[in-house]
Amino acid sequence: MSTPELIPAAAAADLLGVRRQTLYAYVSRGILTRSHATDDRGHRVSMFDRREVLALTERHRRDRTGVFELHLDTAVTHLDPAGRLLYRGRDACDLALTHSFEAVAEILWDTSSSGDWDVSDEALWVWQHLDAACPADAMPAARVRVALAMLAACTAGPDRPSPSDVRRLARVAVMTAAGALGRPTAPWPGSVALAASRALSPTGDRAASAIGTALVLLADHELATSTVAARAAASTHADPVVTFLTGAAAMGGPLHGRAGEAAYALLRDAATLGAAAALDRRGERTPPGFGHAVYTDTDPRAECLLDVVLDGQPHLSDTIDDLSLQVRRRHGLAMNVDLAMAAATMALPLRPGAAEGIFVVARLAGMAAHALEELEHRLRFRPRAVYTGESSG
């Protein structure tokens, strides 16, 4: 048996794309084996089997991406694994604290004007008929999807949409969706954040500022599953609203748009039972609201949003600190934006299903930005499958 090639902790952490604290958490959980050596200065140092580290790296890659990998050039959004999110070169966290959602949408759409954000006749028609099309207990995101389907019936345009078509219908879709989160009230309150706040918070307008921050932070995140779905639809030259509906539909699963539900349940348990007991109830499963496929540590969107929603919430802040510490020790994971949205749901407070509703409305802006890029291409999403079924011969 060959002698293992040992590498120092810094090199092992580098290969895995994690911090040293996470590396040692893997050791404590039995995922990696650590040995010790003495360096040139006589200090005792940790060493790791390079093959074992590479095997774990490959396992993480498969867990995160399956066997389907997609690489596209984009000028919309840049995700830095070290913890920074940029919209067309501008820090998303800075924008969330200084710009309205509408202004950030225009940045994502690469426009120099503020755009026409007046309520359209199509939006008014959808709001007028939406309640009749939805069950009384429909969740906010479900209402948004129905509203987008109704809007698509009103907006069918040319076979090949132009950039101006995409931008115009993106504004219409965002406003229609925001008004669809709850029972629409006339007149339009003046902003997407205000419309969402009135629909989703029992406090009315008071939650608008925090919701506006969340909308900006969630507006785009590069090639998330829903964005890929929207780009695929856009590549067929689908009507822009159909493209947005395609992306919104892909957000309907618990691993994407609805991930905040499980994070809320965990945070609620941590607030009532204590962080350790809440995690004990979940066993070894990865806790919702923690870990990310791209960021190697804390999701920058989580930190920015928590700074806003935890102001004046000392008990909730302590609960999140305790939960984060416990998860770091047990799993080596940092929080993501789903936990921050769960905290916003508690702190503001927001109605059930609000987090997913805000997420869907926000992400329409990013889908439109990616649809604009896809106009330059034609039907380029045609991956091949590896057939594993029975042979006819």
Q: Catalytic residue positions?
A: 292, 338
Q: How far is it, in rounded angstroms, from Cα 341 to Cα 364?
A: 18
The values of phi and psi at residue 37, to 5°, are -145, 175
Q: How far is it, in rounded angstroms, from Cα 232 to Cα 152?
A: 17
Other beta carbons less than 10 A from residue 391's beta carbon: 5
Which residues, including other chains, have CB under 8 Å from residue 343's CB and lie 6 or more apart?
A: 267, 305, 306, 309, 310, 316, 320
What are the b/e assignments for 175-202, b being 16+ CB within 10 Å?
bbbbbbbbebeeebbebbbbbbbbbbbe
Strands 77-80, 44-49: pairing is unpaired
Closest CA to 76 of 62, 87, 65: 87
